[in-house]
Amino acid sequence: MTLQRTLRVLFCLTVLAGMAFAQTTLNGAGATFPYPIYSKWFSEYHKAHGDVEINYQSIGSGGGIRQVTTGTVDFGASDGPMTDEQLQQSKVKIVHIPTVLGAVVPAYNVPGVSGEIKFPADVLANIFLNKISNWNDKAIAAANPGVKFPDQNIIVIHRSDGSGTTYIFTDFLSKVSPDWLQVAGKGTAVKWPVGLGGKGNEGVAGMIRQTPGAIGYIELIYALQNNIPYGSVKNSSGQFIKASLESVTAAAQGVKMPNDYRVSITNPPGKTAYPISSFTWLLIPQPYKDGAKGKIITDFLNWELDNGQGMAGSLSYAPLPKEVADKVRQTIKGLK
Measured distance CA(286)–CA(7) in Å, rounded: 46
Cβ distance 31 to 56 under 8 Å? no
pLDDT greater at residue 297 or residue 17: 297
In this predicted structure, the answer to whether residue 59 has a pLDDT above a threshold of 50 is yes
pLDDT tier, 15 (very low <50, low <70, confident <90, very high otherwise): very low
Predicted local distance difference test score (pLDDT) of residue 114: 87
In this predicted structure, the answer to whether residue 235 has a pLDDT above a threshold of 90 is yes
Measured distance CA(78)–CA(64) in Å, rounded: 7
Output the pTM of the full model: 0.87
* Sign of the dihedral defined by the CA atoms of residues 72, 73, 79, 82, in that order: positive
Predicted local distance difference test score (pLDDT) of residue 1: 46
Predicted local distance difference test score (pLDDT) of residue 319: 95
Listed in sequence order, the residues at least 6 apart from 43 whose beta carbon sits closer than 8 Å to its beta carbon are none
Cβ distance 282 to 273 under 8 Å? no
In this predicted structure, the answer to whether residue 242 has a pLDDT above a threshold of 60 is yes
| Pairing assessment for the beta strands 240-241 and 214-219 based on DSSP bridges | unpaired
pLDDT tier, 7 (very low <50, low <70, confident <90, very high otherwise): low
Q: Give pLDDT tens digits for 82-125.
A: 999 999 999 999 999 999 999 999 999 999 998 899 999 999 99
Cβ distance 220 to 239 under 8 Å? no
Q: Reading across the β-sheet that carries 24-30, which strands appear in turn? A: 52-57, 24-30, 75-78, 277-286, 93-109, 214-219, 155-159, 196-198
Predicted local distance difference test score (pLDDT) of residue 254: 78
Mean pLDDT, all residues of the chain:
93
Measured distance CA(315)–CA(222) in Å, rounded: 10
> What percent of the chain is predicted at pLDDT more than 70?
93
Mean per-residue pLDDT, 210-217: 98
DSSP calls for 37-48: HHHHHHHHHHHH
Measured distance CA(120)–CA(177) in Å, rounded: 11
Percent of the chain as helix, strand, coil, to the nearest 5:
45, 20, 35
Q: Where are the beta strands (DSSP E) in 36-181?
A: 52-57, 75-78, 93-109, 118-119, 155-159
pLDDT tier, 2 (very low <50, low <70, confident <90, very high otherwise): low
Mean per-residue pLDDT, 131-144: 98
Burial track 124-152 (b if 16+ CB lie within 10 A, e otherwise): bbbbbbebbeebebeebeebbeebebeeb
Predicted local distance difference test score (pLDDT) of residue 99: 97
Q: How many CB atoms lie within 10 A of CB 196?
A: 15
In this predicted structure, the answer to whether residue 130 has a pLDDT above a threshold of 60 is yes
> What percent of the chain is predicted at pLDDT more than 90?
86
Predicted local distance difference test score (pLDDT) of residue 19: 45
Cβ distance 96 to 260 under 8 Å? yes
| Helix axis angle, 322-333 to 291-303, nearest 10° | 160
Mean per-residue pLDDT, 154-178: 96
**Which H or E element spans position 92?**
none
In this predicted structure, the answer to whether residue 16 has a pLDDT above a threshold of 60 is no
Cβ distance 70 to 91 under 8 Å? yes
